[in-house]
Amino acid sequence: MLQITEKQVQDSITMEMALPVLRKAYEDCMEGEIYAGGRIFTPVRGQENVGQWLVANCTNQPYFGSKFSSVFPQNVKKGLPSVISKVSLYSALTGELHALIDANYLTAIKTGGSAAIATDLMSKKDAGKLGIIGTGLQAFSQVLAIQEVRKITELYVYDVMPERVDRFIEQIETVKNSPYKIIAAGTANECVAQSDIICTCTTSLTPVFEGSYVKPGTHINAIGSFTSFMQEIDEETVLRSDKVTTEHMEGLWDAAGDIIIPLEKGLISKDKVNGTVGDILTGTILGRENDQEITLYESVGSGVLDIALSIAIYEKFRK
């Protein structure tokens, strides 16, 4: 049994490697060759702290696996990651444990890569102004991934803890793939108003910006909300969105507070959600039909993508 550390994952995985793995996982999922099981999440001593388990099984490779993540937002005040994850990868032939993989960076790359695929399919082709709300590892991976699919001209950054913004900008300066400007936004609404692509990467339980500031033609990657009671995106944003997609429909109705809350209030019906990223990739639905549409990718986590990426890392190390 291999134990693959966080550092080993960081040293072995790149966005260039991850994007084709994730695209293929979406396509394989549409073919039924890899599929997600039911998710489990549990609040831990209140609703702010959460533990979550995602699982996936392969029919075209000899693996199945699970990922556990804990989300403790106050960890940032203790110098710890707010999200801590680990993947267990098993043999589908014997049930033996093949690997334990530290998965904080893996999760960030997976989430960023999936959002980049959605961005490529749903945002305007000339979208160049990117807005990031939040400055943690997930936010970092969003920039790392989206700059691979769109030519970024300006990056706007906002965080409720202003002291974190300068450090984040310094990190992005070391990895940006073109000489785009990086601007610290004074407010979340300012960040949104200036952007063609918006990524929300927080652990907030309440909306982080006002939907009235979203411009026509904007694409939004809503990353932070993954339980039924988290609402990172406000109801106006959901109502104004012309197209809404996710990783898996079942997971969305289990875990996306951004969508579940307006549904329970009777503001939307389930047909507000058009389908999945896999549906767009395979041509079942369209990602964008004109430059005025507001599009929303609601990420709730995907065991399929986690396990697909874990298999790629495991096979690299076992050779």
Asked if residues 304 and 34 have their Cβ atoms less than 8 Å apart, the reply is: yes
- What's the pLDDT at 243? 97
Please give the DSSP secondary-structure letter assigned to residue 214. P
What local confidence, expressed as pLDDT, does residue 45 receive? Answer: 84
Cα gap 102→37, rounded to integer Å: 21
Q: What is the pLDDT of residue 284?
A: 94
Strands in the chain per DSSP E: 2-4, 34-36, 40-43, 50-58, 63-71, 83-91, 97-102, 129-133, 154-158, 181-184, 197-200, 219-222, 243-246, 275-276, 295-298
Q: Quote the pLDDT of residue 302.
A: 86
pLDDT, tens digit, 9 for 90 and up, residues 280-313: 999 999 999 999 999 999 998 889 999 999 999 9
Query: Minimal CA–CA distance to 143: which of 194, 180, 101?
Result: 180
Q: What is the pLDDT of residue 46?
A: 77
Residue 48 has what pLDDT?
A: 82
Residue 227 is predicted with a pLDDT of 75
Tell which residue, 17, 68, 44, has the closest CA to residue 316: 17
In single-letter form, the type of residue at position 49 comes to: N
- Go through the domains of the chain in sequence order and give each one's CATH number: 2-106+304-318 (3.30.1780.10), 124-301 (3.40.50.720)
d(CA 105, CA 118): 20
Q: 125-141, pLDDT tens digit by residue? A: 999 999 999 999 899 99
pLDDT computed for residue 39 by the predictor: 83
Q: Judge whether 222 and 149 are in contact, CB under 8 Å.
A: no
**What's the distance, CA 231 to chain centroid?**
15
Q: Which residues of the chain fall short of a pLDDT of 70?
A: none
pLDDT at 41: 83
Give pLDDT, residue 252.
85
> For 96-225, where are the alpha helices, taking DSSP H only?
104-122, 137-146, 163-175, 188-193
Tokens 């109502």 correspond to: 239
